[in-house]
């Protein structure tokens, strides 16, 4: 903002604009133009003795004031151009919950590598037989495997409260979905009782409405376990932040082909890395490890999910 004092000072319109962007008081700048008028070069290269002189930038650094980049573009004290993207309510709530989770939940992480050749073969056979009626994803198998493993090993299907550990009777699987408004986790409720086709349909329908901002609160609030899959982006392995009040979240990486030893022979197979983030208050190391062992069995033997 240009002050009254600045308006009485002889300066070109461009020099005034640059001074406002860089926070320079024109009264402290000595003009080199006619009648001492302040011009562009005086603002970009203030004298060393000026009260508001700024550090010089490396040659080649293009300041915001030197190029037109559209409306709403600002510059910080170092000449770095930026625009502001206001945070919507979803982003604010998500940020608050993530900070709360990392600051108050004692996370630990367990990682297993699952061979997915049988899963990929089963997926291909099922999709071929469907003839376009539906198309299962690897994530659909992972969701089903997580639900079945929670039923087989319910000690991991819990959440912490100060008075008691709550052990849930159903596997309500939250699925992390990226939307234009931010991250949201729609829930496949009672996933242990649903087939792969039903899970696939629900995930697609929930994700579609999530991106449109049309989910009801009960469709994304709650859940007993979360799956976050970044494999489609080529991410090999990562650790996810727990989604309170849940005690576990599974981070799923991309499948990759690599050699392995089987019975003394070197073979090639497809492997996927899964990392379980765990709330140590509700699930200790042995319980988390046992759950991953059961989950790995389901993923590596997908036919068992159909029984």
- CA contacts within 13 A on the Cβ side of 179: 23
Rounded Cα distance, 1 and 21, in Å? 9
Catalytic residue among 280, 290, 294, 297: 280
Separation CA 307–CA 301 (nearest Å) = 11
Q: Spell out the long-range contacts of 151-156 with Cβ–Cβ below 8 A and sequence spacing 24 or more.
A: 151/192, 152/294, 153/287, 153/290, 153/291, 153/294, 155/283, 155/287, 155/290, 155/291, 156/225, 156/247, 156/248, 156/283, 156/287, 156/288, 156/290, 156/291
Query: What token pair was written down for 302?
Result: 């997908």
Decide if 280 is catalytic.
Answer: yes
Catalytic residues: 280
């Amino acid at each position: 903002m240009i002050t009254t004092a600045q308006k009485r000072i002889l300066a070109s319109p461009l020099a005034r604009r640059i001074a406002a962007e860089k926070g320079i008081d024109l009264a402290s700048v000595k003009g080199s133009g006619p009648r001492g008028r302040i011009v562009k070069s005086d603002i970009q290269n203030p004298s060393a003795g000026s009260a508001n002189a700024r550090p010089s930038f490396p040659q080649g650094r293009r300041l915001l004031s030197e190029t037109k980049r559209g409306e709403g573009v600002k510059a910080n004290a170092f000449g770095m151009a930026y625009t502001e993207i206001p945070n919507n309510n979803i982003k604010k709530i998500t940020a608050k919950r993530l900070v709360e989770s990392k600051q108050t939940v004692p996370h630990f992480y367990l990682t297993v590598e699952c061979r997915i050749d049988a899963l990929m073969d089963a997926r291909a056979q099922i999709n071929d037989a469907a003839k376009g009626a539906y198309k299962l994803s690897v994530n659909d198998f992972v969701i089903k495997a997580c639900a079945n493993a929670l039923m087989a090993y319910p000690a991991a299907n819990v959440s912490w409260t100060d008075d008691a550990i709550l052990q849930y009777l159903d596997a309500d699987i939250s699925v992390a979905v990226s939307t234009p408004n931010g991250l949201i986790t729609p829930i496949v409720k009672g996933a242990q009782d649903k087939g792969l086709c039903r899970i696939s349909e629900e995930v697609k329908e929930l994700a579609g409405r999530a991106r449109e901002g049309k989910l009801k609160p009960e469709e994304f609030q709650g859940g007993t376990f979360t799956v976050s899959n970044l494999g489609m982006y080529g991410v090999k392995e990562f650790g996810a932040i727990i989604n309170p009040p849940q005690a576990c979240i599974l981070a799923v990486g991309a499948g990759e082909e690599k050699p392995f030893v089987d019975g003394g022979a070197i073979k090639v197979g497809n492997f996927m890395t899964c990392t379980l983030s765990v709330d140590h208050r509700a699930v200790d190391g042995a319980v988390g490890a046992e759950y991953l062992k059961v989950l790995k069995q389901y993923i590596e033997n997908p036919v068992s999910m159909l029984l």
